[in-house]
Amino acid sequence: MIYLTRRATFSASHYYWNEHWTAEKNVEVFGRCARRNGHGHNYTLEVTVAGEPDPVTGFVVDLKWLKDVIEREVMAAYDHRHLNLEAPEFAMANPTTENIAIAAWKRLHPAIEAAGSGACLSRVRVYETPEIFAEFRGEA
């Protein structure tokens, strides 16, 4: 069993806000992240698949294929976008690093399963900055 990881980066805006709270409460909880014009990050996404290397190619999966999947399923929806305003999964939920990791998993998992390559999605890690990152492994 090999764990093969590919990194990709995307630049996006976001803010944190709860519509059921007053503005004061939002600022108290979310601080500078509550500013409604948004701010942004260079996010780094790490996608890890697990499987056996094919004895002929030596590949767990073709990394060009994996790059295309990431591009189509995540980058097209998040890169150079305002996550709150343009990604439907964040219309009602804050695009925290934690929630982005789960959402990226949900976007990637069906495409990787559908490929029938024998490799499965093992881990998604999202860095908001080099100091903050969240990881989802598909565990309930």
Catalytic site residues? Answer: 33, 80, 128
User: Pattern of binders to a second copy over 54-93, x per CB under 8 A?
Assistant: -xxxxxx-xxx--------------xxxx--xx------x
CB of 114 to a second copy, least distance (A): 21
107 lines the binding site for a second copy (CB under 8 A): no
Angle at 30 between CA 25 and CA 36, to 5 degrees: 90
C-alpha span between 45 and 86 (Å, rounded): 19
CB 89 within 8 A of CB 103: yes
CB of 46 to a second copy, least distance (A): 9
CB of 113 to a second copy, least distance (A): 20
C-alpha span between 42 and 114 (Å, rounded): 29
E strand spans, the chain: 2-14, 39-51, 81-82, 120-129, 132-136
Tokens representing residue 71 in the block: 């591009």
114 lines the binding site for a second copy (CB under 8 A): no
* Binding positions for a second copy, rule: CB under 8 A: 1-9, 11-14, 16, 18, 29-33, 35, 37-42, 53, 55-60, 62-64, 79-82, 85-86, 93-99, 101-102, 129-137, 139-140
